[in-house]
């Protein structure tokens, strides 16, 4: 955050803004991690389904 952004803001308000920005960054990071885990679990389920049914054409 630049000094220009804090030019007319008191110290308490500056701390509040920095805290909120840190919270937003943390929530974004958690969102990326959740999306990654969802993708890994989806891939594992797909692999398990493929491995449990070696010849899926027989079932049709």
Side-chain-side CA neighbours of 59 within 13 Å: the count stands at: 6
- 6-16: per-residue pLDDT in tens? 677 899 999 99
> Coil, strand or helix: which one is 19?
helix
Residue 4 tokens, joined: 């220009």
What's the rounded Cα separation, in Å, for the pair 6 and 42?
A: 45
What's the rounded Cα separation, in Å, for the pair 60 and 57?
A: 6
| pTM exceeds cut of 0.75 | no
What ranges in 1-60 are assigned the alpha helix state H?
A: 11-52
- 16-56: per-residue pLDDT in tens? 999 999 999 999 999 999 999 999 999 999 998 887 766 65
């Amino acid at each position: 955050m630049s000094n220009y952004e804090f030019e007319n803001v008191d110290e308490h308000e500056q701390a509040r803004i920095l805290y909120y920005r840190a919270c937003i960054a943390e929530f974004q990071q958690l969102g990326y991690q959740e999306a990654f885990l969802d993708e890994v679990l989806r891939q594992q389920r797909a692999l398990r389904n493929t491995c449990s049914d070696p010849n899926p054409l027989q079932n049709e």
